[in-house]
Structure 1
Amino acid sequence: MNSNVTRSTEVFDTEALRSPWGQLRETFRYGYLLRNLVQRDVKVRYKNSLLGVVWSLLNPLLMMMVYTVLFTILRPNNTIQYFHIFILVALIPWQFLAGTVMGGTVSITQNSSLVKKVFFPRALLPTSVMFSQLVNFVLSLVVLVVLLYLSGIGLTRHVLWLPAILFTQMVFMLGLALMLAAAQTFYTDTLQIVQVGILAWFFLTPIFYPFEDFAQTTEMLGLSFNAARLMRWINPMASIVDSYRTVLWGTMSSQGQPVAMDPLMLARTFVTAVITLVIGYTLFSKTEHLFGEKL
């Protein structure tokens, strides 16, 4: 029998819905559906587009140019070398996050007919958004590496940290996407809140400024604290962006030696990411049986 026909007639194990672990097993069983959803998202994104997939490469480059010009004017005494690369290294993972969170938020509501008519693990919808955005991320990363070598920066052995950083970011983003997808299904103004939150989050993350801009000691409401350290703790993307920047843009120190990663900080961020995923997946799995009624 044709494998595609066999797959199309697979029975969704409703008994597995009784526990999050059972739902997780069902999700892995539907890996082929995840692949099809990702392919669909990528095709729809570039359908009737004049430049097609080239936009994935142009978008971060154009944004890099805008921010470079803007902040060069706003900060005429800027001493950061290769400032355009400095921005691009942080902008690419940020766009990965923003695309995943925004798309993940509406992934259930925009597929309401599919959700109401077909039985499948609903978590595949926000997950497919993340993997379709991963395609853009990888393409942009290739352009970044080319620019790194053209700028004379290149790469060092510390680039081996890149998979760990990327995995940490994906775990964190998936947790957020699941959480927000469930919230949007019940409260349709969630998307508007997310849009405002993403904008504020962007400026609170060191995209176009270095961590060194945070004062080591800051006083507020009579309390004294290390602003840079606090930002790393409360903003996982600040730590993730700084990690990308360390292994890509900041590969050489002023003494000409490779800049080392901070494994402890990345480990702390990974723990935060896992907690976010556990919370997001638990909320999603506990409410997904109501999605059909709410849509």
Structure 2
Amino acid sequence: MMALVWKNIVVRYKQAYLGVAWAVIKPLTLVLVFTLIKSFIGIPTGGIPYPLLTFTALIPWIFFQESASEGVNSVTSNGALVKKIYFPREVFPITAMATKLVELSIGLVILAGLMAYYGVMPGIQALWIPVIIFYTMIVALTISFFGAALNVYYRDISQALPIALSLIMYASPVIYPLALVKDKLITQQAAGPWSEPLYQLYLTNPLAGIIDNFQRVLLRNLPLDWETLEPGLIATFLVLPLSYLYFKRAENYFADVI
């Protein structure tokens, strides 16, 4: 598996002039765009500098987004290996995600620099970060297993995925904090009697709890908020076995279809 991880890293960056610098350019560019948007519409940040708040949200989001995206394409992009020899095909989505750990590490180093610049020091609660990252990996694999199997038979999946992931980003607290959603739906009851059900539905998106708690433990030194994590955890661990079973059932025919 490590050989595949290394191959993915080499293939990804050997043709790129800026190499791993793209792991820094992408989140910083998005932070600049989001900061510009905030200057027009105003977004409460709870006292945290907005660029730092947004960059912290983008670290788990980009890791999830790119892990899921490459995971879905991992089987079809390794078609020659699939036809040549048999080994457990789940290695492909897992190695695609493992490759992204390199970029995640770079992002965390940049985040540490931003935190130092703004004078925000992590506390003991930052020890939850590896747990949150592991949870993010599970969520990415949940999508990757199902999507990778489906993409073998229907190549439109890889074309539709960027659109779906963009929609998920706007339904996640990346540009805005989760506290704003809670204030609108729970405190202000903006949707009337539907406010609380809509808030719970929002939390079934695992990224909502992941991003909020990533910011919570790192920037505010607060313990995990299980209330925001629980709906997404339940959804993930209900769907993950089904996703994996579908993948294992479909893999018997990958070589024939590819």
8 A Cα contact 2:76 2:152, kept in partner: yes
Residues 76 and 169 of structure 1, relative CA distance in 2, 3 Å threshold: closer
| Deviating 4+ runs (over 6 angstroms) | 76-79
| 1:48 pairs with one of 15, 18, 26 | 15
CA contact (8 A) 1:165 1:266 kept: no
Q: Which runs of 5+ in 2 are unaligned?
A: none
Q: CA deviation at 1:149?
A: 1.6
Q: Could you tell me how far 1:267 is from its partner in structure 2? A: 5.2
TM value normalised by structure 2: 0.90
Q: What is the rounded CA distance, in whole Å, between the counterparts of 2:67 and 2:118 in structure 1?
A: 30
Q: CA RMSD in A?
A: 2.1
Partner of 2:201: 230
Match of 1:240 among 195, 210, 227: 210
Q: Work out the CA distance in 1 between the residues paired with 2:22 and 2:98.
A: 17
Indicate the residue corresponding to 1:137 in structure 2: 104
Change (3 A) 1:161 1:118: same
Any stretches of 5+ residues in structure 1 without a counterpart?
1-33, 252-257
Q: In 2, Cα distance between the equivalents of 1:51 and 1:270?
A: 37
The alignment's TM-score, normalised by the length of structure 1, stands at 0.79
Does the CA contact (< 8 Å) of 2:65 and 2:165 recur in 1? yes
Q: 1:159 aligns with which of 102, 108, 126?
A: 126
The CA distance in 1 between the partners of 2:46 and 2:250, in whole Å, is 51
Could you give the per-residue CA deviations for residues 254-288 of structure 1, whole angstroms, max 9, x where no partner exists?
Answer: xxxx4232245435544433333212211100110
Q: Deviations over 1:105-127 (max 9, x none)?
A: 11111111111112111111111
Task: Point out the more displaced range, 46-55 or 168-177.
Answer: 46-55
**Residue 278 (1) aligns with residue 241 (2):** yes
Contact in 2 for aligned 1:86/1:245 (Cα 8 Å): yes
Highest CA radius of gyration, 1 or 2?
A: 1
> Residues 169-208 of structure 1: matches in 2 within 5 Å?
169-208=136-175
Q: Partner residue of 1:261?
A: 224
Name the residue aligned to 1:219: 191
Name the residue aligned to 2:24.
57
User: Kindly, what percent of the aligned residue pairs are identical?
Assistant: 28
| Partner Cα separation in structure 1 for residue 121 and residue 58 of structure 2 | 18
CA change 1:223–1:275 in 2 (3 A) is closer
Q: Which has the higher helix share?
A: 2
TM-aligned CA distance change 1:246 to 1:224, over 3 Å: closer
Alignment deviations for residues 89-110 of structure 1 (CA, whole Å, 9 cap, x no partner): 1111111111111111111111
